[in-house]
Amino acid sequence: MHTSQDLRQAEAVRLDAVSKIYGQGDSKVAALRGLSLGFADGTFTAVMGPSGSGKSTFLHCAAGLARPTSGRVVVGGRDLSGLDDDQLTMLRRNRIGFIFQAFNLLPALTVMENITLPLQLAGERPDKGLIRTVVQRVGLAERLGHLPSELSGGQQQRVAIARALVTRPAVVFADEPTGALDTRTASAVLGLLRESVDNARQTLVMVTHDPVAASYADRVVFLADGAFAGELLRPTADAVAARMTRLGAWEDDNQHQALAQPSGGRY
Ligand SMILES: Nc1ncnc2c1ncn2[C@@H]1O[C@H](COP(=O)(O)OP(=O)(O)O)[C@@H](O)[C@H]1O
Ligand SMILES: [Mg+2]
């Protein structure tokens, strides 16, 4: 049996009573309301919830990209609220990978230059073996000299994923990493993310709307109105879809259609 103290020590990321309020006066919005959540080392968690439930705000606060209004975020045992902006930047460079929904690739840099940019920023010598492995696993070996504008959306997303993995970050945060991908590419990307957890013991936290994508995770955490709204362990796509329906979490008709199709689990 683990005691709660043991579990706490093995947590890669911990949020304690995190609130985030945007705006002032009448236009105040409470995006997160006292959220407490832990993410164990070497686990893959999917985060789901209705539009506006605070998923992106949660991810930004957990990754040190935004500061909570109150409460505490602890990454790798370090309380982020005790760090100044430079220290926070260093911690992000050394421990955290972030896969943005909009890819955020630099248009003037080649695929290879985009992928190795975080290493350059961190002043690290590139580990050529690791880069070769990541590039092959995301299927970009033939595209290293191309510019992002010469790639499809799915290829750009895979560049963004490779870029997040080459520094071997302890924790990877991903905001809808398969949102722009066709189902075959999505399944390749999810397999790669799953492997990075199983083989490299990385901790992965992924926001998604897709029950099939969520079924690759060890755990699904549901948010509603900026607060914890339940979780599922060892999720199947069907169980996730059923929970989403109960939460009223479907954002548009596409997802109702996706639910109506027999899914049978993974892609
Ligand atoms: N920069 C911002 N300024 C003001 N309100 C914001 C900002 N970002 C998000 N919000 C609001 O906070 C709430 C949560 O947003 P968000 O975290 O983006 O939710 P989700 O990712 O689940 O759709 C929403 O009501 C949204 O309108
Ligand atoms: Mg969002």
12 within some domain: no
Q: Which atom of ligand 1 is nearest to the CA of 60?
A: 17
Ligand number with the minimum distance to the CA of 101: 2
233 within some domain: yes
226 within some domain: yes
Ligand number with the minimum distance to the CA of 102: 2
User: How is residue 163 written in tokens?
Assistant: 């870029």
Residues 51-75, mean pLDDT to the nearest whole number: 96
9 within some domain: no
21 within some domain: no
| 246 vs 39, residue with greater confidence | 39
Return phi, psi of residue 5, to 5°: -65, -45
174 within some domain: yes
Write down the pLDDT at residue 232. 97
Q: What is the 192 CA–ligand 2 centroid distance (Å)?
A: 23
28 within some domain: no
- Surrounding ion ligand 2 within 5 Å at CB are 55-56
Total domain count for the chain? 1
Residue 259: is its pLDDT beyond 80?
Answer: no
Between CA 43 and CA 41 the distance in angstroms is 6
Structural domain of 174: 42-64+82-260
Give the position of tokens 């975080």: 118
Q: What is the 206 CA–ligand 1 centroid distance (Å)?
A: 17
Atom 16, ligand 1: residue with shortest CA distance: 54
Write down the pLDDT at residue 264. 40
Q: What angle do CA 186, 246, 183 make, to 5 degrees?
A: 10
Q: For residue 171, what are the β-bridge partners?
A: 96, 203
| 164 vs 253, residue with greater confidence | 164
Q: For residue 232, what are the β-bridge partners?
A: 220
- Choosing from 24, 32, 56 the residue with most ligand 1 atoms within 8 A of its CB, the one to mutate for a pocket test is 56
With helix as H, strand as E and coil as C, how does the chain read? CCCHHHHHHCEEEEEEEEEEEECCHHHCEEEEEEEEEEEECCCEEEEECCCCCCHHHHHHHHCCCCCCCEEEEEECCEEHHHCCHHHHHHHHHHHEEEECCCCCCCCCCCHHHHHHHHHHHCCCCCCHHHHHHHHHHCCCHHHCCCCHHHCCHHHHHHHHHHHHHCCCCCEEEEECCCCCCCHHHHHHHHHHHHHHHHHHCCEEEEECCCHHHHCCCCEEEEEECCEEEEEEECCCHHHHHHHHHHHCCCCCHHHHHHHHCCCCCCC
- Choosing from 22, 58, 244 the residue with most ligand 1 atoms within 8 A of its CB, the one to mutate for a pocket test is 22
| CATH number of 219's domain | 3.40.50.300
Instruction: Enumerate residues lining ligand 1, CB below 6 A.
Output: 22-23, 29, 31, 49, 51-57
33 within some domain: no
Write down the pLDDT at residue 182. 82
Residue 28: is its pLDDT beyond 50?
Answer: yes
Residues 46-60, mean pLDDT to the nearest whole number: 95
Residues 106-129, mean pLDDT to the nearest whole number: 90
Determine whether 62 is exposed, middle or buried from the number of CB atoms within 10 Å of its CB (0-12, 13-18, 19+). buried
